[in-house]
């Protein structure tokens, strides 16, 4: 299960959060935990450099993309390697939606489109789509290219 | 007209300070949402408003029921628009709002229309939305379309239906299970993602059918799996099959070749999954491990941090069971100590601590000292625990390791970290006699400057136990007495008790201790004064060198071998009367989790967050429940309640489990029943018990359950009489009998007439272990010696060929139903002999201690020596009888 996807700006303000199977009273803990993780480790990190951590039975993969920080939390089947895969899809789709690595402003400008991308990638905690070309077409309600299967 | 939200001009994105959502407010956005009701829809503007709503929701904002309903109804109007971009937004919005059951009906027809549309993308999205908001009744209506969609030639539609299936399996398993033919077909799909989703769903549908999973794995491991993700799933299922087949024969393991082949896959994800699966095989041999360790070693020097992390995490686990297999990677891991990612560095350090040999300890400690200063407390705790294990492994190195612990104890750190260090020092003092005196002095120095009351009191307590037994108890007094001057009341009170212990145990110190205790009589805290008064009046001798009597020592410092929770509950239940409170009436059994708690929804642990509250007392709850039933009220005191045992298989119509309540002269079976069929109401539910294979038992009472509606569990009871105080055993067969009434799912009302029906349950047994309470002792050796050899019985047994030593140990523990002590239930891998210590209380409140010595006799034959000590020789004999007849 993919427990959470969080996007924050570099100052740690949440821009977007999607939780799956985490009770609302626990969400604040997660938010604080991840923002702290980012503050401790992401300063000076290269663009799209992946960071990884584990906390009890969950795994966290996080990175910097332009002016935003992205955190993904998973457990069971979604271990650090599966999360890396998910992270790759998310970063490439966001770059695709924004045309480049986004600043915070650009990310917010393309917010609607990014929400659609995430909706195609993760569905209630389960990974659904993994290719950015396909996602790009799906968010415009276009069928995937017949050449790819 | 509002300002367009999306700015076309990307040059302006440098103005990062300005947010398009600046000053956004829920109320205003909800007002804006009224544009959805316009007769002339403006798709662009509507999309912008939806984006704003999504932004609010994604920021953790919540809508009230009224707000959500209003937005939902407005959004449904947007189905009129043919704008594709807007339609896509509408789908997301409905999912985010997750409307309630009575509202769903508004969009059902629009979504059904989209679901049968010729446009593939409408179909896929409508399926996802419908499955998100649907309930059981609607699902049966759309089931036909979903089955078609699973085998749709468009992979997006097929995936949408399959992922829906995965979600729906949680809520409507019986419907989704009917799709297995279609899902089976989808597993063969040429589209990689369809195959991945189909495989996941098919496995979930069949996970309880071992044969089917075996077949699935066999066919797929021979064929081709298209995506790395699906390949990873297959590897996981394969290791499950290997685990369950429990192959004990020598020779090649089934599917091992497949796993080994995956080590050469082109995707790193697959290679890693296979390597991990191999390392986790039961009883894996070094020959099987080698290729997996080799690929993991390569990952250690990967440029990708995730791969390094994954590899070192797996090697860390392997090091626990096969440290020798990992030593080849030591050089690579040493270089990871300086890894920027502190998680990787900590894992590397702790792995090295496990695999290192005695000669490398000093070098390693030097590296760790530099490393400790720049990691967070949570990592430091892991390192401290690893050092503790290392010290227990190489006791000769205790000096340098203890020094290390005491040095880090003096540095800055939070409570958990300090506690971990103190715990480690305490364990080392207990287990390594040579480390005792230096360890105690380290602790004494720590409390001189300790900011945590809890730790100070724990250490003072520990000093009171260990200090008097040292060669020079005198030297600790100063440290302890200083606490009486310098600390808060809690610590002062603990210090007074510790002083008194020294006085009681070391006669020569007593006069001087009395002087110190008398000074405490003037403390400004009443607890401190009370303790001092108590000790001065009971230790005896009025400050002269005399021995304190054993009774007084037991009274003052003896262990209260009753769980405190039980004592608290019994005291709360005690009503003031002529009869004084009897401490022997307090149940001694350690609590187990009650069934209701286990089945509670939202059981998935999420790692962070507050720890779950302690389980409420089951024994107490059972006792209350049973004493409230008049038929059982005169059975006397409840001796033991067993853990619930399932009498039905998983996912059957009726789920029944049984709890056995043992009284001195009676046994009560409590059947916990759950009706899992929404369309049925059960009434007058009883269990008909056939006790023909339990000769010493006679049924005396039965309490039926009046009504058992869907998904709300209820209990029915059957009571038997048995010879008093005798551990009678027997087998009971059970039949559930009830009147079943049809329920109209739309109204929830049951029909008036019902039909009598029966349902066969599994057998249950009352066994010897039911007459034994699991009660642990904190120090087995002391308990064993103080019990004495008067009622000891020793004998040897051949247990015949066994799968492993561990399996034999567990079988005997289960047979006796006793509490394993000091972690002796764990058998180290590859050991040829093992000693296991058990303790318990037998019916009649007789304490029993058991020492089991196992040895391998030949390749698989296990021999066992059983020594029993108890307060009654008849009980010692009874334990031997249990083993002899087991």
Choose the closest CB to B190 out of A51, A128, A149: A149
Asked if B120's CB is within 8 angstroms of A143's CB, the reply is yes
Asked whether this complex has an ipTM greater than 0.95, the answer is: no
Asked if A119's CB is within 8 angstroms of B92's CB, the reply is yes
Choose the closest CB to B88 out of A116, A124, A134: A116
pLDDT at residue B435 greater than cutoff 50: yes
Q: Are B249 and B257 in contact (CB under 8 A)?
A: no
**CB-side exposure of B612: number of CA atoms within 13 Å?**
13
**Which parts of B394-488 fold into alpha helices (H)?**
398-410, 415-431, 436-448, 453-466, 474-486
A21 touches chain B (CB under 8 A): yes
Q: Are B311 and B272 in contact (CB under 8 A)?
A: yes
Determine the Cα–Cα distance for residues B811 and B291; give it in Å rounded to an integer: 35
Q: What confidence tens digit (pLDDT) does each residue in B361-402 have?
A: 888 888 788 777 767 777 788 888 888 888 888 888 888 888
User: What is the number of CB-based contacts under 8 A between chain A and chain B?
Assistant: 178
- Where are the extended beta strands (E) located within chain A? 2-9, 14-19, 51-55, 58-65, 68-75, 122-123, 126-127
What is the distance in angstroms between the Cα of A125 and the nearest Cα belonging to chain B? Answer: 10
Q: Are B440 and B463 in contact (CB under 8 A)?
A: yes
CA B355, chain centre distance (Å): 28
Q: How confident is the model at residue B609 (pLDDT cuts 50, 70, 90)?
A: very low
**Which uninterrupted H or E stretch holds B490?**
helix B489-505
Asked if A105's CB is within 8 angstroms of B167's CB, the reply is no
Q: How long is chain A? A: 149
B residues 233..252 contacting A (CB < 8 A) = 233, 236
Helix (H, G, I), strand (E, B) or coil at B105: helix
Q: What confidence tens digit (pLDDT) does each residue in A82-103 have?
A: 999 999 999 999 999 999 999 9
Determine the Cα–Cα distance for residues B851 and B865; give it in Å rounded to an integer: 8
The residues facing B671 across adjacent strands are B658, B716
Q: Give B-chain residues touching A29 at CB under 8 angstroms.
A: 608-609
SS3 string, B179-248, reads: HHHHHHHHHCCCCHHHHHHHHHHHHHHHCCCHHHHHHHHHHHHHCCCCCHHHHHHHHHHHHHHHHHHCCC
- Which is nearest to B307 in space by CA: A130, A61, A35, A69? A61
Q: What confidence tens digit (pLDDT) does each residue in B196-252 have?
A: 999 999 999 998 888 889 888 998 988 778 888 899 999 999 998 888 876 545 556
B residues 161..190 contacting A (CB < 8 A) = 163, 166-167, 190
pLDDT at residue B8 greater than cutoff 60: no
A residues 58..77 contacting B (CB < 8 A) = 58, 61, 67, 75, 77
Choose the closest CB to A109 out of B7, B155, B229: B7
DSSP state of B750: B
Q: Are B869 and B787 in contact (CB under 8 A)?
A: yes
Q: Give A-chain residues touching B602 at CB under 8 angstroms.
A: 23
Average pLDDT over residues B56-70: 87
Determine the Cα–Cα distance for residues B513 and B484; give it in Å rounded to an integer: 13
DSSP state of B710: B
A10 touches chain B (CB under 8 A): no
B191 touches chain A (CB under 8 A): yes
Choose the closest CB to B121 out of A21, A108, A141: A141
Q: What confidence tens digit (pLDDT) does each residue in B266-282 have?
A: 999 999 999 999 999 88
Q: What confidence tens digit (pLDDT) does each residue in B73-104 have?
A: 899 899 888 888 899 999 999 988 877 777 88
Mutate to test the interface with A, among B62, B85, B190, B608 (most CBs of A within 10 A): B608
Determine the Cα–Cα distance for residues B695 and A62; give it in Å rounded to an integer: 66
What is the rounded average pLDDT for all residues in chain B? 84
Choose the closest CB to A105 out of B16, B190, B192: B16
| pLDDT for the residue B664 | 85
Average pLDDT over residues B590-615: 38
Q: Are B799 and B808 in contact (CB under 8 A)?
A: yes
Q: Are B417 and B381 in contact (CB under 8 A)?
A: yes
Angle at B701 between CA B696 and CA B706, to 5 degrees: 140
Q: Give A-chain residues touching B233 at CB under 8 angstroms.
A: 77
B489-505 vs B453-466: helix crossing angle, rounded to 10? 0
Average pLDDT over residues B697-722: 88
Determine the Cα–Cα distance for residues B729 and B882; give it in Å rounded to an integer: 11
Q: Are B734 and B762 in contact (CB under 8 A)?
A: yes
pTM assigned to the model: 0.61
CA-nearest residue to B8 within chain A is A109
B265 touches chain A (CB under 8 A): no
């Amino acid at each position: 299960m993919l427990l959470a996807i969080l996007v924050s700006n570099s100052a740690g303000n949440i821009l977007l959060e999607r939780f799956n199977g985490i009770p609302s009273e626990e969400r604040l803990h997660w938010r604080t935990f991840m923002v702290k993780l980012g503050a401790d480790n992401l300063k000076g990190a290269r663009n799209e450099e992946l960071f990884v951590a584990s906390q009890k039975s969950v795994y966290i993969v996080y990175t910097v993309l332009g002016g935003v920080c992205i955190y993904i939390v998973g457990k069971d089947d979604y271990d650090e390697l599966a999360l890396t895969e998910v992270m790759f899809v998310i970063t490439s789709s966001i770059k695709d939606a924004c045309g480049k690595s986004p600043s915070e402003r650009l990310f917010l400008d393309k917010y609607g489109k990014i929400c659609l991308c995430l909706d195609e990638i993760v569905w209630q905690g389960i990974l659904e789509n993994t290719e950015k070309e396909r996602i790009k077409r799906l968010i415009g309600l276009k069928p995937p290219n017949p050449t790819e299967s | 007209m509002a300002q367009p939200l999306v700015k076309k001009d990307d040059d302006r994105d440098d103005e990062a300070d300005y947010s398009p959502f600046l000053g956004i407010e829920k109320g205003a956005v909800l007002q804006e949402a009224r544009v959805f009701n316009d007769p002339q829809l403006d798709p662009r503007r509507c999309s912008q408003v939806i984006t704003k709503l999504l932004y609010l929701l994604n920021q953790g904002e919540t809508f009230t029921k009224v707000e959500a309903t209003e937005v939902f109804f407005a959004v449904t109007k947007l189905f009129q628009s043919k704008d594709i971009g807007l339609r896509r937004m509408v789908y997301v919005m409905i999912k985010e709002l997750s409307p309630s059951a009575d509202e769903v009906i508004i969009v059902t027809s629009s979504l059904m229309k989209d679901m049968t549309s010729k446009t593939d993308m409408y179909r896929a999205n409508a399926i996802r939305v419908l499955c998100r908001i649907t309930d059981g009744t609607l699902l049966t209506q759309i089931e036909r379309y979903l089955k078609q969609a699973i085998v749709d030639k468009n992979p997006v539609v097929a995936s949408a239906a399959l992922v829906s299936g995965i979600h729906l399996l949680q809520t409507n398993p019986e419907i989704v299970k009917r799709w297995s033919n279609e899902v089976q077909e989808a597993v063969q799909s040429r589209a990689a993602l369809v195959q991945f989703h189909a495989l996941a769903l098919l496995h979930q549908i069949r996970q309880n059918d071992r044969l089917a999973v075996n077949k699935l794995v066999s066919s797929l491991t021979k064929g081709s799996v298209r995506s790395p993700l699906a390949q990873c799933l297959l590897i996981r299922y394969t290791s499950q099959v290997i685990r369950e087949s429990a192959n004990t024969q020598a020779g090649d393991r089934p599917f091992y070749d497949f796993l080994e082949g995956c080590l050469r896959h082109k995707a790193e994800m697959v290679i890693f999954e296979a390597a991990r699966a191999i390392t986790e095989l039961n009883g894996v041999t070094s020959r099987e491990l080698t290729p997996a360790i080799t690929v993991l070693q390569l990952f250690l020097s990967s440029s990708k941090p995730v791969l390094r992390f994954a590899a070192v995490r797996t090697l860390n686990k392997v090091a626990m069971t096969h440290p020798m297999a990992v030593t080849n990677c030591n050089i690579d891991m040493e270089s990871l100590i300086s890894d920027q990612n502190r998680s990787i560095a900590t894992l590397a350090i702790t792995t090295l601590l496990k695999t290192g040999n005695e000669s490398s300890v000093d070098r390693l400690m030097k590296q760790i000292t530099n490393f400790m200063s720049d990691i967070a407390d949570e990592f430091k705790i892991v390192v401290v625990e690893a050092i503790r294990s290392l010290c227990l492994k190489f006791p000769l190195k205790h000096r340098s390791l203890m020094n290390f612990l005491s040095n880090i104890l003096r540095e800055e750190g939070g409570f958990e970290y300090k506690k971990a260090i103190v715990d480690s020092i305490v364990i080392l003092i207990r287990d390594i006699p040579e480390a005792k005196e230096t360890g105690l002095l380290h602790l004494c120095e720590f409390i001189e400057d300790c900011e945590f009351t809890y730790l100070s009191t724990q250490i003072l307590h520990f000093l009171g136990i260990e200090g008097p037994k040292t060669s020079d108890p005198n030297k600790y007094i100063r440290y302890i007495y200083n606490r009486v001057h310098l600390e808060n009341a809690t610590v002062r009170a603990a210090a007074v008790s510790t002083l008194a212990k020294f006085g009681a145990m070391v006669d020569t110190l007593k006069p001087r201790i009395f002087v110190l205790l008398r000074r405490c009589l003037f403390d400004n805290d009443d607890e401190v004064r009370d303790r001092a008064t108590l000790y001065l009046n009971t230790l005896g001798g009025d400050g002269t060198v005399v021995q304190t009597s054993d009774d007084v020592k037991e009274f003052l410092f003896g262990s209260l071998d009753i769980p405190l929770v039980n004592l608290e509950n019994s005291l709360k239940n005690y009503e003031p009367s002529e009869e004084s409170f009897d401490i022997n009436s307090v149940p001694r059994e350690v609590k187990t989790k009650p069934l209701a708690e286990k089945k509670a929804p939202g059981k998935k642990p999420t790692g962070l967050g507050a720890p779950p509250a302690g389980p409420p007392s089951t024994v107490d709850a059972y006792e209350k429940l049973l004493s409230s039933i008049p038929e059982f009220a005169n059975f006397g005191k409840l001796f033991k309640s067993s853990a619930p045992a399932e009498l039905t298989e998983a996912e059957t119509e009726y789920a029944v489990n049984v709890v056995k309540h043992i009284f001195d002269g009676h046994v009560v079976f409590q059947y916990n029943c759950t009706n899992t069929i929404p369309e049925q109401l059960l009434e007058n539910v009883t269990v008909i018990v056939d006790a023909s294979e339990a000769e010493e038992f006679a049924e005396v009472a039965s309490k039926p359950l009046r009504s058992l509606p869907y998904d709300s569990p209820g209990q029915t009871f059957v009571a038997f009489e048995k010879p008093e105080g005798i551990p009678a055993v027997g087998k009971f067969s059970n039949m559930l009998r009830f009147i079943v009434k049809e329920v109209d799912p739309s109204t929830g009302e049951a029909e008036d007439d019902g039909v009598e029906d029966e349902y066969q349950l599994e057998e249950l047994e009352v066994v010897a272990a039911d007459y034994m309470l699991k009660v642990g002792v904190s120090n087995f050796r002391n308990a064993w010696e103080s019990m004495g050899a008067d009622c000891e019985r020793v004998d040897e047994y051949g247990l015949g060929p066994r799968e492993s030593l561990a399996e034999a140990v567990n079988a005997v523990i289960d047979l006796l139903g006793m509490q394993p002590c000091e972690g002796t239930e764990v058998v180290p891998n590859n050991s040829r002999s093992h000693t296991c210590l058990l303790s318990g209380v037998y019916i009649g409140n007789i304490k029993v201690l058991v020492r089991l010595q196992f040895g391998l006799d030949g390749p698989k034959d296990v021999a066992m020596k059983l020594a029993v000590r108890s307060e009654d020789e008849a009980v010692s004999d009874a334990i031997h009888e249990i083993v002899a007849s087991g």
